[in-house]
Amino acid sequence: MSAQITTRFAPSPTGMLHVGNIRTALLNWLLAKKHGGRFLLRIDDTDAARSREEHVAAIRADLAWLGLHPDGEERQSARFDVYEAAFQRLAAAGRLYRCYETSQELDLKRKVLLGRGLPPIYDRSALALSEADHAAKAAAGDAPHWRFLLDHETPITWHDGIRGPQHFDPRQMSDPVVRRADGSWLYMLPSAIDDAEMGVTDVLRGEDHVSNTATQVQMFAALGAQPPRFAHAALLTGTEGKLSKRLGSLGVDELRAEGIEPEALVALLARLGTSDPVDPALDAEALAASFDLARFGRAPARFDEADLTRVNAAIVHHLPFERVAHLLPEGMGAAAWEAIRPNLTQIGEVAEWWRVITGPVEAPAFDAETLAYLVEAARVAGGLDWAADPWSALTGALKETTGRKGKALFLPLRQALTGMDHGPDMKTLLPLIDKSEAVARLARG
């Protein structure tokens, strides 16, 4: 594969990115980085009525949060002159033609064809219109929409990077509308023009675009351009086996609010749909190095939020202090972070554990025997060197003086010191609690 590989992510700024969009962006980034190529962001904002600048800003912010930094950015709204020039060339070459049917008329035609057991494709009736007919339409105030004329004599084929050899019969396809009567553009022709002019070598997208690709293969030929390599990944499905409404709208903002780290989302989405296991230990660069389209299957890629939570916990357990320092409570240092992080599923939980260190804590009610044991523990703790493994020294001394061992030795100490039955390793946690505070907690029981 060429070292000059160029991929692109081309969202429409009509809403926020969701998990499926994020996966598409990530896979294109991984493919480009695998081969030392370029990853472009193209904002497909030809739909002026629905595009929003706040969504453009959110797309950029989401990619930055994920660490997917584009090597260049283009906006379709700045390229209308390019589309117009290509449009005029294609129209002059007879590859575009004017049509006037309303949506109701087209719907009726489709129903008639389906009733006859035929494919519901456009019948090309507009090709029979003469220039006089067009003039009459114009005089009546009817503006045309434009269709791309598929070449029925040339079968459409390409080798898909995931799906393998693909074959489409253009006679079984409708000539697609590429421009509306108001002059605005639909998706497919500007996208093909941009891919050709921007030097996009590889288009990796969801399998719902396969039929679009079949049409665009002929568009590239009509434009005199070499089509990019295409690969179509299986779509994400939820745990119930289909694309749920929640999965279809689950966005970066919501994931961030739930405490999901970008590393976790990248680790999971990079491997969904492949035969490779999800490995939280791999960073984005390592994932790029191991990226291989041949590892992707045709089966739906199952996205499970429970899996994301587990991966997130594994990621958090290994995050260095420098990565999280700005997110931690004031005064919390590296030693406290390293002691607490094995107990977290998300960074937001750290405040609760920090309160265990700084206090106050509420211990459970103890019986008289246990209270006496804790008073003895407070006495021993008061004489310890707090800089020299006080937990081992404390439990070792109490084992000798009280004869306690196992749960009877350790649990009351943990409960009195932390107010909890479980938590971080006390050997690392106890030195973080101020000595006088620890003695007071034990004496209080």
Report the chain (445 residues): mean pLDDT per 10 consecutive residues.
82 93 97 97 94 96 96 97 98 98 95 94 96 97 98 97 97 97 96 97 96 98 98 88 60 90 96 94 94 94 92 96 96 95 94 94 94 96 94 96 95 96 94 96 87
Q: Is 329 within a domain? A: yes
Distance (Å, whole) CA 66 – CA 269: 11
Our measurement of the distance from residue 270's CA atom to the centroid of its chain's CA atoms, rounded to an integer in Å, reads 9
Angle at 182 (CA atoms; ends 184, 170), nearest 5 degrees: 60
Residues 150 and 217 in one domain: no
Write down the number of H helices and E strands in the chain.
20, 12
Final residue of a structural domain among 309, 330, 356: 356
Residues 67, 194: one domain?
Answer: yes
pTM (2 d.p.): 0.88
Please check whether residue 311 lies inside any domain of the structure: no
Q: Domain tally for the chain?
A: 4
pLDDT at 242: 56
* Cα 216 to Cα 192: distance, rounded to the nearest angstrom: 6
Q: Give yes or no: residues 131 and 198 share one domain.
A: no
Q: Domain range for residue 213?
A: 6-76+186-237
Q: Which residues contact 19 (CB under 8 A, 6 or more apart)?
A: 236, 247, 250, 251, 269, 303
Q: Does residue 68 lie in a domain region?
A: yes
The pLDDT value recorded for residue 220 is: 98
Q: pLDDT value at position 253?
A: 86
The answer to whether residue 269 is domain-embedded is no
Nearest to 202, CA basis, from 11, 14, 35, 380: 35
Q: What is the pLDDT of residue 238?
A: 83
Mark which of 237, 256, 279 sits at the end of a domain. 237
Same domain for 141 and 87 = yes
How far apart are the C-alpha atoms of 277 and 235, rounded to whole Å?
Answer: 18
- Asked if 68 and 91 sit in the same domain, the reply is no
* pLDDT for res 248: 59
Enumerate residues 6+ apart whose C-beta is below 8 A from 230: 158, 160, 161, 202, 203, 204, 213
pLDDT value of residue 435: 96
What letter would DSSP give residue 79? -
Say yes or no: 89 and 126 in one domain: yes
Closest CA to 394 of 430, 445, 341, 346: 430
Which CATH number fits the domain that encloses residue 50?
3.40.50.620
Q: Per the structure block, which two tokens stand in for 311?
A: 């991966």
**Domain co-membership, 350 together with 363:** no
One domain for residues 363 and 333: no
pLDDT at position 69 is 97
Residue 230 lies in a domain: yes
Alpha carbon distance 50, 77 (integer Å) = 13
Residues 191 and 60 in one domain: yes
Pairing of strands 156-160, 229-233: unpaired
pLDDT of residue 246: 60
Same domain, 437 and 381: yes
Closest by CA position to 258, among listed 196, 177, 313, 214: 313
Alpha carbon distance 14, 185 (integer Å) = 15
Mark whether 95 and 128 lie in a shared domain. yes
